Structure 1
Amino acid sequence: MIMGSWKKGFYALIAFFVPLIAVVTPYDIEITNYLRAHSIVGFREFMAQTIFEGDPPGGGDPVVIFIIISLLLYIIGNLRKAPEVIRRWRPFYGFILATSLTGSVVMVRLLKFFIGRARPRLVFGEAGLPFTNWYEIGPQAITKSFYHGSFPSGHTASVMCLVCLLYIYSVRNGRKEREWVKRFFLAIPILAYAALMALARTMSYAHWATDCLFSIVAVWAIAHLFFYAVLRVPEVMQRTGGGLPAPPKLWELRFSLYIALTAAGVIAFGRGSAELYGGWGMRSAIMAGLGFIIAIAAFRRGRLLRRRALGL
């Protein structure tokens, strides 16, 4: 029942957000400039800072603490003498970590690298870089975009990792009507937090409005697919709770690391190929070749690990 109905939720997510992005896209510049003109200085600085980067406490701290706690519980759950309640929820902690790594790091860096969209401050500032839509290749693609690209918003993507909490109610035993009500009221503060981060990043001219909106959609979609289709968390938790053999230890974390390695290989291949296009060079050829090998090898190892863990 659970595994057979997950597609409806995914289609509903896409059906809501895709038209929303389509409506916002033509007014991306106007919305971004409006938010900048009405920005609250203290608010936008607070949302960008975090104690984990040497700043005072800020808006980025709750999600980092959430991920750290999930990592600790995940590690404890893989220990031989772990408490039963933690061991039972280990697949869920692994789901949080895999979604966080893939959604807020891999997806963000991969798209930044290849899209290369210039940030608003570089478009309207002295740099004078050209404006491009979120679906177009920008002026910083491949060369300077890994850290500096505007699309998508990494801060907003990180906050959206909290959406994993909504899926607690997909593995709990309770009345379906009540679970949906609880999920709805839990979604409100999570989406409000993501909206505040999106507003702050747009107000600071660090991102366009569509950068942040896309991050909200993409991370939620990744979480939904990971929970039901990729990691199959409900199925694994039922199997573990029923006394059947548990999947290999730390497999969710290892699987997400293989995804990261695959993305790193793709980035290296893209960078090397771009340099080769501009002129032949041994370093570029080696980078492209190694990137291709790493991407293929990591993808195959990750697929094999998943098949073994899920008994496919």
Structure 2
Amino acid sequence: MHSTTVRHFLPDRLVLVAIIFFGAVAMIFLDSHDVWLTKLIAAYRQEWFVTLMGDSLFELEQPGGGDLVVFFLIGSVLLYLASSLVDTPCDHWPVLGRAKRIITGRPSLSSALRYHRLRLEFLLVSSFSCAILMVKTLKWAMARPRPKLTIFGTMPFSDWHEFGPFFLDAGTYRASFPSGHAALAVTLVGLAYVALYSTAGPRRQKNGLLLLCACLLFAAAMGTARVMSIAHWPTDVAFSFFGGWLLIHCLFFYGLRVVEPQGGTYHYRGQDTPPPPWRAFILCWYLSLFCLALTVCILGLRHFFFDRWPWLVCFSVVSLPVMYQALRKTREAGLFIPRA
């Protein structure tokens, strides 16, 4: 494979500052306007738009906007599996051995899969962290009521930074903050980062920038549809948008370090030493363990101070060493290690 060295088109630190700044401004502004803005957007509800963004073939409905993300994720997983299979001894498993022989029988294909393994690993880890870990952890911990339960029901309104009234048995499914659909849509930003920052040539960079804009517009459309259907507050969507984008950005440049800055350029690290096979699943496992322990810690403290089961605080104490071990294992596996 040829060397991939990319000029600074959008410097990572500049983008990082912009994400944090505009995200903070959006959350501060929307904090006191959640209710009336939700009612305003819902008043202009377009049924075709809400249906288009909400339906999914995987829920036995008409094709919808979310299917685009699901197909992207399925493709990423399958390609990563093939990339890891290239360097895995699997003679004892007939099916896997046959698949490996098919792949390695085409040297150009196996070489390309090995070359792109770091990119594919980033897509898996960033998508899983954004769409699953970030969303589920905060839903359990914050337990914010959805707009329908507040506007049309009897649930009290709570700000995005306040603990909601749900107990831990209902927070996962009924909680509003943050928006899972918006976070799922934001995962496409990872693909745009791969195209923008780790491919050479001005034309490819231009296409990467256009792809980034398209992905952000798609995520914004998904979030608007969720507010229009009174399924989420604007702050739910804004946090998923900027929080998910921030998470993807940090994983790309600082977590997995898909590219390495060299003077005024970015150098794709995967072309030198591909990461070990299957590492994405190892990282996802330890990150899941950390988020689960963090959720238990927050729930224990929350129910100790605010709810009817104060004895749950003992789980907060137990979760601390689990969190430490999970973080240590992720660093040993290669996440957020310092540059040499």
Counterpart for residue 64 of structure 1? 70
Letter in 1 for 2:28: A
1:50, CA displacement in angstroms? 1.6
Quick check: which one's helix share is greater?
A: 1
Aligned length: 304
Is residue 107 from structure 1 mapped to residue 113 from structure 2 by the alignment? no
1: CA distance between counterparts of 2:15 and 2:33? 28
Relative to 1, partners in 2 of residues 1:240 and 1:20: Cα closer, same or farther, differing over 3 Å?
closer
Match of 1:76 among 82, 88, 101: 82
Is residue 150 from structure 1 mapped to residue 173 from structure 2 by the alignment? no
1: CA distance between counterparts of 2:217 and 2:12? 24
Counterpart for residue 229 of structure 1? 254
1:161, CA displacement in angstroms? 0.4
Gaps of 5+ in 1: none
Aligned residues of 2:199 and 2:205 also touching (Cα < 8 A): no
Match of 1:241 among 247, 265, 271: 271
Counterpart for residue 181 of structure 1? 206
SS of 2:275's equivalent in the other structure is coil
1: CA distance between counterparts of 2:279 and 2:81? 11
SS of 1:247's equivalent in the other structure is coil
Relative to 1, partners in 2 of residues 1:27 and 1:174: Cα closer, same or farther, differing over 3 Å?
same
Counterpart for residue 262 of structure 1? 290
Counterpart for residue 117 of structure 1? 144
1:139, CA displacement in angstroms? 2.1
2: CA distance between counterparts of 1:209 and 1:118? 13
Aligned residues of 2:145 and 2:164 also touching (Cα < 8 A): yes
Match of 1:251 among 279, 295, 302: 279
1:309, CA displacement in angstroms? 8.6
Is residue 192 from structure 1 mapped to residue 220 from structure 2 by the alignment? no
1:72, CA displacement in angstroms? 0.6
Alignment deviations for residues 128-166 of structure 1 (CA, whole Å, 9 cap, x no partner): 111122122222264532221111100000011001122
| TM-score, normalised relative to structure 1 | 0.86
Relative to 1, partners in 2 of residues 1:34 and 1:303: Cα closer, same or farther, differing over 3 Å?
same
Counterpart for residue 46 of structure 2? 40
Alignment deviations for residues 78-116 of structure 1 (CA, whole Å, 9 cap, x no partner): 122352122211111111111111011111111112222
183-192 vs 112-121, which moves further: 183-192
Letter in 2 for 1:56: Q
Q: Percent identity?
A: 29
Is residue 160 from structure 1 mapped to residue 190 from structure 2 by the alignment? no
Gaps of 5+ in 2: 1-6, 87-103, 261-265
Letter in 1 for 2:80: Y
1:289, CA displacement in angstroms? 5.5
| TM-score, normalised relative to structure 2 | 0.80
1: CA distance between counterparts of 2:291 and 2:270? 31
Letter in 1 for 2:133: V
